[in-house]
Chain A
């Protein structure tokens, strides 16, 4: 799935973070399997992250999901080292971010990453245009180029005509569009989004998700997206990692997580998910027996159950044939089976 134009995958290896003055002395205790509660009660230190291993392919959206206190915001801040890790590696391309000197780190942040924040974090004394050029200004790009790039991305996120407005004059949704435009103008291969849409109301949030997905088709950046909302995670994520108490408890595609939750905790999350919008037809189809002829209407591999149901409803049959991208029939799905899959869990 890696994109040839973007070779900036991120690999996190054995990353741990203990907050507190004696973090380094306490780090060996992690190997002995000390828990978050123990570390807090015995030593008064907070375990932020524990032995995180995630490989994020280049050009994909990796969602990190977890509730508050799960360490997801801590994790994303390790990728551009806004937080120093206690141990572990963060590999971007071939470089270990953890080992960079301050100067290298600054260059890395300027050219390789851009970040969108939950609370927007715009400069209140600068208007929209001046906020958007910030990254390029820091890099020392000529002013004309700064403005050209900024105007391009401002129009892409739908902020034409707002260049001269100040952040305080804009609604939350529009402020976050500025945040997004600012990050995109930086033209970095990695986009870090820390609960970027969490502060927005539901309709605008879905709106922003759509904008992001549309843009991603074209920009193909490596996006790390933090959220506490499973629906958002499933909608955006090519891959999802679920964090709890600083540990990754499951990672995989949305379907894998919905269909095979690793434990009760994740189960309780996915229970309420609309499976029709996550599960794809080929996952639940009955493979075609040799020589069996395709019947009824067809749906391409990768179609979501909800869309397949719509196709079935509009036809007069109760059978649906799943075909591959090049039209080869793969399997069959009955109306019965489709409905079962949408309402109950698949074993």
Chain B
């Protein structure tokens, strides 16, 4: 192993297909991490466990691209935030009209619709909601007056499609339709053809008219949500969270955990092992006994107890993983340094009276560097899967959406027996792909350092 120079290792490495594949995957992952850090503000992922933040999103929605493979298109979950605003006044009566154009091209009815608004007003404005369908028919949905107030107040309101008065208004207009409204939800009527109860495709216009006298209400927020069953690149989970955000943010977290744990353990193990091997005799004996003790500790039960009793913070967990990570490397580093110690130049340096620390740092450690790099790469996947495993058991840091955490939630909500594949597959594939990248790099390095295995 001492006969290979760094340049040669580099050359050999770029000749190996495995090594290059590993590097390509790793670069992609790093690119994803950078994209995640830049495009998704850090506040978003801190809000991961805050249900308020996800209230507008659909529950367990299938990823959007599924529609490409479907013959019957599933309605997409749409959030309309920028209505077309028209204001007209007739003497003292002021009409503020918000219109949302909804392009509906799906083969199933939407799940529901919600209109969310907040406004500042005096007196008691009247709100009317209606929809103009692609066939030109206008359906009145609801008309309601906001609570009366003499001074200016702020009012928030949500109009749900399940509202009974919408249903009642629709049944008053049932003569336009040639089927019975029995047991049909409002959205199944509004988006239906006249002859039979099947979705009518085309452009719908939802208009919300606010009538007020004397002063114009200030509408602060006005959103229309047409609830669908597909949403986002990666779909959503039971708690309405956008899985794409969790998966993206999981990448830098996994790389952080894997790299920090493996680099720190390899460095610690290397120094420990080399020192023990170099010193020899009693020091070696004592150090190796201690090594044996740590080696024999059952890691997983211990990690579990530690995270339950001390802290489940991700940074503390990284520390615990290091405690169990350095042992094997120390053993190998010791036996390697035992071999190197007997070489002539180390003896020579010793005789010339060089300091111990200098001999270790200058003559022994550099010889072990290729091995160190290979072990760093090889021990990354273990760190990532262990963290994922702990998170999966519900012992991870709940404030960070790691892949293991997502899978834990999936398991808690019985995703696999409910067939929610988009909740289970991507996090696991990400864990495996990240692991593979490092295994490839590690194996490529390993076969250069130990040519015996290369065949």
Asked if A and B are interacting partners, one says no
> B-contacting residues of A (Cβ < 8 Å)?
none
